[in-house]
Chains A and B, each alone.
Chain A
């Protein structure tokens, strides 16, 4: 019956944060690339459905989604600064020395040079990369996005060259972030044979013991040790 034990992965607050992040992200990707590729079939279909004000609607929706994303980001900042669970979360996300050795060992293992699979704690180097990439991306997209949004105000300070740079960064960062999510994140959540068809933690909040054994053995051991300590007391 041990396998039916549940291990909390994402609290309700974290799941809400994640949900808002993912929805606003998808909307931003959709409405953002709709500007860059106006003749793409999916843009034309959407525009056809929405009607003649599709272009204006696109801009508004993009800005609304960006506000949601920035708001979630700010809440998350508050969360990691002032919430106990949040504080622990960011501590666990901070890169550590063992991440480099884990990364090295993992590559060896994956390349078939070593039989020893490195054991991961709460967040592997994969998840840490993911997290900090989102932080980096949100900051970059947020800053350049604000410049582009309030071009009248910023023109004076950044000149037209600055506007060109901002839009260039905004565009390439968007490609990078989208590809990272698709290639990196979606693989581990959907295609990863260990969790296929989907890791449901973002919905349920819990992982099974089996999942814990495969993905987070160190965290499992830690929590078992904590439990046995408690039982000893």
Chain B
């Protein structure tokens, strides 16, 4: 094989030499340019023409078509291949590189570009050199033919490639191709992405970058340099976490530390499966390009703007919150009013359904962390100031502690985000809505049923401010257990409770209520017995009921004449067939019970007359007897 190829080479060399010789001879006769190039091509158009150099086979083929359509079609081969003697094989003893500068003395700044050591033909090719315009059209392909490393090669899949943005658009291209410095990136991207870029210019990232922090990210750190894509979750969040989870970059445990940010990974926002569009990524809260310092008062994560930021996704909830007392105070810049994160947390945000912090019993602690100090006092049913922390002594909280998950916690009555003041008529705890809130199904529906239609409920529905609803008797937060072992105290406090309103002259007159009901009760056997310490005797509720209190004129009232035998019969079985001939609370003795009035007046006269006489008689007797004794 070797011998044969050597033979071939010799044969070819000899034939080349002969041809060259004839051409050189011919050249002496025909001194024309085209003929000269034609002469070269007469040999070099042979596709198999090649030579061996340093053990490598080099093709010496030149496509005449390419050459003739190239910008150098008007130039002679020897214009570039200096000192070539076509008659000799090889044409020159010392091969010299083609020096393009001999003609193209203006290099267009090539010597300053990154390609200064790259041969012209690497880009322009050797013989089929295209016009500059045509070259720039397909420049990216050209670049990628050399730049085959992994990152750069991804360019072809990038959004830029798809939108016909080429390498030259960033790297200047042509002879000026350059590397891009970190400090230049944002300005460069901003040529197209001016909005994002100017936002970035105001961001903390840019501020830190200007301050000389080499770790500060620019566009490419997040978006990638060549592989720029459009994809929400995978690129952005990973890009942020790449740096922000690094404990050496963000040490400590405070806000802003890597540990703090790491909580995001297990949060409801972070743990939703990758690719879910509903999940919030870093940029959704912090902004994308214009990430502010967390201390910046205009930052999207600052309390003032949280409603707007969280409301981007949770609009319905935020609308409710804005109407709430919390929301309104927040919007008035009240520094103590809670914002979203004060209850829900920041990076560690959890689903309220799954989080322990939002379990019925723990949510009370959350609310009380602000409300326990009693700075927002309420009045209880006795008119005494009541602390909201009284809830922890209430039956509701006790039941929760015992594991009754039906028992209400703060949000059950106040609403979670609605959290309106009771003064707002639309709130769940306004006077008119209170009974519906307490009486919702599964809670006190039975009591609500009884209360509905009562004289108290009618008053409330007619906007009578004096009429009581649930909390006026039971209290607001510290709703305590009825202690069955102290019936007397319970009875006494009940009488006191009813008396608060029913013995108020002002209130009874304003509402045209029977007067002196407390007094007459207190003087009755029932009242005397309670005062004396009987726990069994009747108090207000024994006769009037509690939730279903109705006036005696109502036929369904427990104290309607028709129903009295049954009502009194609960304690006095003999009363079942009794005719009630006079009022129980005889507030006007003369008219309500004339017999009692008559008898009591007769007795008073008798007592005054008879006892008066006795005193007089005895005084006289005593005087006489003492006088007699002194005489003797």
Contact = CB atoms under 8 A, between A and B. Distances in A.
Interface stretch (A79-87, A149-157, A198-206, A218-226): A149-157
Nearest to A193: B625
Nearest to A43: B532
Given A110-B624, A168-B596, A161 B611 contact: no
Interface string B576-603: 0111111010100000010110011001
Interface string B595-628: 1100110011011001100110110111011100
A4 interface: no
A55 B595 contact: no
A111 B531 CA distance: 47
A98 interface: no
A193 B603 contact: no
A165 B599 contact: yes
Given A35-B528, A194-B625, A172 B604 contact: yes
A35 B532 contact: yes
A161 B595 CA distance: 8
Interface string A152-184: 111110011100110111001101100110011
A30 interface: no
A175 B603 CA distance: 9
B622 A192 contact: yes
A193 B628 CA distance: 10
Contacts, number: 116
A193 B622 contact: yes
A47 interface: yes
B575 interface: yes
Given A191-B622, A193-B622, A193-B625, 20 more contacts: A38-B528, A47-B533, A52-B533, A107-B617, A152-B573, A152-B575, A154-B574, A155-B578, A159-B582, A161-B593, A167-B525, A176-B606, A179-B614, A180-B610, A180-B611, A180-B614, A183-B618, A188-B618, A192-B622, A193-B629
Contacts of A187: 614, 618, 621-622
A39 B522 CA distance: 12
Nearest to A103: B617
B534 interface: yes
Contact of B603 (A58, A152, A172): A172
B455 interface: no
Contacts of A21: none
Contact of B533 (A55, A156, A160): A55
Contacts of B629: 193
Interface in B467-503: none
B582 A155 contact: no
A155 B575 contact: yes
13 contacts: A39-B531, A52-B533, A107-B617, A110-B617, A160-B580, A161-B582, A164-B593, A164-B596, A165-B596, A173-B603, A180-B614, A187-B622, A192-B625
Interface residues on B, range: 35 or more
A106 to B, nearest CB: 8
A28 B622 CA distance: 30
Nearest to A52: B533
A5 interface: no
Given A54-B533, A160-B580, A164-B596, A172 B574 contact: no
A78 interface: no
B529 interface: yes
Contact of A160 (B531, B577, B578, B621): B578
B584 A152 contact: no
A233 to B, nearest CB: 38
B353 to A, nearest CB: 51
A188 B575 CA distance: 47
Given A39-B531, A55-B533, A187-B618, A151 B624 contact: no
Given A109-B624, A111-B620, A161 B581 contact: yes
B614 A184 contact: yes
B626 A183 contact: no
Contacts of B615: 183
